[in-house]
Amino acid sequence: MLDYAGFQAVSAVIREGSFDRAARVLNVTPSAVSQRVKQVEERLGAVLVVRGQPCRATAEGEAIHRHMESLGILERDLMAQLPGARLGEGEWPTLALATPADSLGTWFLGAVAAFAREHRFLLDIAVDDQAHTADWLRQGRVLAAVTALAEPVQGCRSTPLGSLRYLATASPDFVERYFPQGVTADSLSRAPGLTYNRKDGLQAAWIASVLGREVSYPTHWLPSTQGFVEAALAGMGWGLNPLPLVADGLARGDLVELIPGRFLDTPLYWQARRLSSDLLPGLEAAVVQAGRAALV
């Protein structure tokens, strides 16, 4: 038999980040949590939690954590089918999701907020590049994700949402200073760009679509969706911004497109493990509806 009390302790430590906070959630002492985790680790012959500030899961610990979260969903579904059954006040199953930062900053949060208002679930939202959120599904770290991958991850169902449209934008002064003769390979090589992080390939993809080749250019590193817009407005550099975030700036003339009409569309998909898709149709419906309303 599985040691579910021990598994629950492992999951709580991973979710809360410390033994003390896990103890408060489980209403036991920190030493009791530590003992339960140690017993499970000894029984399985594997380290499950890397102690630190915060505590982190090993691959084996992550597997147990996700199992317990899936179990919480199953229990939530069962309780809904039993007349008179009620969840305790402190029983809130957690759903682990992954989404690109630009989706979180434009349309995704509204979708999951609508779901959270109607259902007794907590959300644990991870942010990663749209080309990499599928990895979170493959690794079993999340139950569902917004991703640029159309092909279903093993055990998942893929639903198209639409495309998030990106525009290459900058302040009028910036464009006048660096692109007086238009966008060319030479002018791009001298104009500072904006890059979210080392995984961000949007600017390079836009350059390739416009010029048909790669161009190296100086860049600021700025891991913030809203910061991208603010940096463009402040004349720091040029970058690919989601249309919903720059529409007002373009209308006011505070921002301009580097090449009007040359946008980049990124198709997005909702991929969810079949367990969560079957048990949580409300979440999938909310995400799909919001995505198709907001995306191209």
Average pLDDT of the chain is 89
| CATH number reported for the structural domain that contains residue 62 in this entry | 1.10.10.10
Q: What is the DSSP letter of 94?
A: E
Based on the domain organization, do 260 and 170 belong to the same domain? yes
* pLDDT value at 167 more than 60: yes
d(CA 164, CA 263): 10
Q: What is the mean pLDDT of residues 264-282?
A: 84
Predicted pLDDT at 104: 95
Q: Which among 123, 127, 126 has a CA at the least distance from the CA of 101? A: 127
Domain-embedded: residue 69 = yes
Question: Looking at per-residue confidence, does 171 or 58 come out higher?
Answer: 171
Torsions phi, psi for 119 (to 5 deg): -130, 150
Residues in the chain: 296
pLDDT band of residue 68 (cuts 50, 70, 90) is confident
Please say if the pLDDT value at position 120 is more than 80: no
Is pLDDT at 230 greater than 90 in this prediction? Answer: yes
What pTM did the predictor assign? 0.76
In a domain, 97, yes or no: no
Model confidence over 196-209: pLDDT tens digits? 999 999 999 999 99
Q: How confident is the model at residue 279 (pLDDT cuts 50, 70, 90)?
A: low
* Residue 100 backbone dihedrals phi, psi, to 5 degrees: -65, 150
Answer yes or no: is 40 within a domain.
Answer: yes
Is 30 within a domain?
A: yes
Highest mean predicted confidence (pLDDT) among 94-108, 127-141, 157-171: 157-171
Q: Domain boundary at 89, 114, 134, which?
A: 89
Which ranges constitute the DSSP H helices of the chain? Answer: 4-16, 19-26, 30-44, 59-81, 101-103, 109-118, 133-138, 172-178, 185-190, 202-211, 225-233, 243-252, 274-279, 281-294
| CA neighbours closer than 13 Å in the CB half-sphere of residue 195 | 18
283 and 115 Cβ atoms separated by less than 8 Å: yes
- The three state secondary structure string of 18-46 is CHHHHHHHHCCCHHHHHHHHHHHHHHHCC
Residue 158 belongs to some domain of the structure: no
Q: Is the pLDDT of residue 91 over 80?
A: no
Q: Is the dihedral of CA 183, 184, 190, 192 positive or negative?
A: positive
Pick from 43-57, 58-72, 178-192, 255-269: least confident: 58-72
Q: Does some domain include residue 284?
A: no
Same domain, 168 and 85: no
> The domain spanning residue 221 has which CATH number?
3.40.190.10
Q: CB under 8 Å to 155, separation ≥6 — which residues?
A: 273, 274
Contact indicator for 242, 102 with CB cutoff of 8 Å = yes
- Token pair 């690794």 in the structure block, residue: 139
Q: Among 35, 61, 89, where does a domain finish?
A: 89
Q: What is the 3-state secondary structure (H, E, C) of 211-253?
A: HCCCCCCCEEECCCHHHHHHHHHCCCCEEEEEHHHHHHHHHHC
Per the structure, the complete domain to which residue 182 belongs is given by: 164-266
Instruction: Return d(Cα 8, Cα 183) in angstroms, integer.
Output: 57
102 assigned to some structural domain: no
Burial call 256-280: b when 16+ CB within 10 Å, e when fewer: bbbeeeebbebbbbbbbbeebbebb
Answer whether residue 20 is part of any domain: yes
Q: Which segment of 71-75, 139-143, 202-206, 279-283 scores lowest on mean pLDDT?
A: 71-75
Query: Looking at the 3D structure of the chain, how many domains does it have?
Result: 2
At residue 52, the pLDDT reads 87
